[in-house]
Amino acid sequence: MEIDQWRRDYLQGGLQREDLAGDPISQFRSWLEEVVKSNISDPSAMCLSTADASGQPSQRIVLLKGFDESGFVFFTNLKSQKAWDITANPQVSLLFPWHFLERQVIVRGVAEQVADAEADAYFSTRPRDSQIAAWASHQSDAIVSRQVLEEQFAACEKKFEGGAVPRPDFWGGYRVVPHAIEFWQGRASRLHDRFVYRTLEGGEWQVERLSP
């Protein structure tokens, strides 16, 4: 396996300053719409990077569940590794790896827990089995076997049989409030196009082209 020889050129297009929207959320929405139209699996999948109090980084794929001018939202167990990391260090990064379009979007910002009402509203839309799984799984804890997990799920099924499944108090969401959003478009000869929006005082955005 000659991994060092695996390569391809990026020839699908380019990105110019005049192509960009006036703000990064509009630009993100435009690119996301193209991803959705492609019918790929999990178009909202993103890599969330966190670091614990010692500086040890961790990454995992989560699903984007909402975005607007205030930030990018995802939901999770509030006792998971990612949640512990965010408590210790709320500075996080999101990466949308849209390789098939030869694009990436990188979001850098601060994660803030969403209000209970917002978490309740989203939890109520989840499939019932997913709601029960939120109760059954002690996310990131060591577990003896798959059987134990399935027994916990069955016990929760029985507990909530015949009624609505409430949101656990240890389950909620985070909003990543961005201070920088980068749009990356692959180009030939590794001369990629990179533009980053950075926040200025007053809430305005400044755009810079970065060297690839």
**82: which 2 tokens?**
């990612």
3-class secondary-structure state, position 145? coil
Average pLDDT of the residues in 187-200 = 96
- Residue 29 clears pLDDT 90, i.e. is over it: yes
Give the annotated binding-site residues for FMN. Answer: 60-65, 75-76, 82, 104, 139-140, 184, 194
Answer yes or no: 108 catalytic. Answer: no
Average pLDDT over residues 5-24: 93
Label residue 201 by pLDDT band (50, 70, 90).
confident
Each residue's pLDDT tens digit, 54-91: 999 999 999 999 999 999 999 999 999 999 999 999 99
Residues of each annotated binding site: 60-65, 75-76, 82, 104, 122, 126, 130, 139-140, 184, 190-192, 194
Are the C-beta atoms of residues 134 and 211 closer than 8 Å to each other?
no
CA distances from 63 to 46, 72, 107, 147, 153 (A): 6, 10, 14, 27, 22
Find the angle CA(4)-CA(6)-CA(8) to the nearest 5 degrees: 130
C-beta atoms surrounding 143 within 10 Å: 12
Q: Output the pLDDT for position 1.
A: 78
Rg (the chain; Cα; Å): 20
Supply the DSSP symbol for 125.
T
- Candidates 7, 190, 198, 209; catalytic one: 190
Query: Which residues make up each annotated binding site for substrate?
Result: 65, 122, 126, 130, 190-192
Q: Does the reported pTM lie above 0.85?
A: yes
Q: CB under 8 Å, gap of 24 or more: what pairs does 198-205 form?
A: 205/22, 205/23, 205/24
